């Protein structure tokens, strides 16, 4: 392999294994404090960006459809308890009563604030 690489001195394995230009590549070694300061500065810059997503308000009609889907799924699930099914039915019935009598489009959050 040494002959194929074209090295003049076949006995100078140190030169082959530890390439002299390799040590010159790193011109500055940062201290631990400098590294921590750099990370803190980068995190502070990232905190300024607001990447939160506002949630859409869920209406009672949409929540009734979701509770029906959940109820149907839980019936098929073998470890479902009757108490869980009763709770889902009670919530769905309460939402349906509110939807029928009030006749206005409101959000599900108002129901859970009452409970």
The overall longest dimension of the chain from CA atoms, in Å, is: 96
- For residues 15 and 2, the answer to whether their CB atoms sit within 8 Å is no
Q: Which two tokens stand for residue 107?
A: 């959000």
In a structure prediction context, what are the per-residue pLDDT tens digits for the chain, which is 115 residues long?
556 666 666 666 666 666 666 656 555 677 888 888 888 887 776 655 666 778 888 888 888 899 999 999 999 988 889 999 999 999 888 888 877 766 555 566 766 766 5
Q: Can you give the pTM of this predicted structure?
A: 0.41
* CA distance to 40, 98, 100, 106, 110, per residue, from 57 (Å): 36, 17, 19, 9, 11
């Amino acid at each position: 392999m040494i002959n194929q690489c074209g090295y003049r001195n076949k006995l100078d394995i140190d030169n082959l294994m530890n390439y002299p230009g390799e040590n010159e590549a790193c011109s500055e070694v940062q201290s631990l404090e400098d590294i921590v300061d750099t990370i803190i500065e980068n995190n502070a810059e990232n905190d300024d960006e607001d990447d939160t997503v506002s949630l859409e308000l869920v209406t009672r009609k949409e929540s009734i459809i979701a509770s029906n889907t959940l109820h149907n799924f839980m019936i098929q699930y073998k470890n479902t308890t009757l108490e869980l099914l009763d709770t889902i039915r009670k919530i769905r019935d309460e939402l349906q009563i509110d939807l029928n009598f009030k006749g206005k489009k409101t959000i599900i959050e108002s129901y859970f604030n009452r409970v």
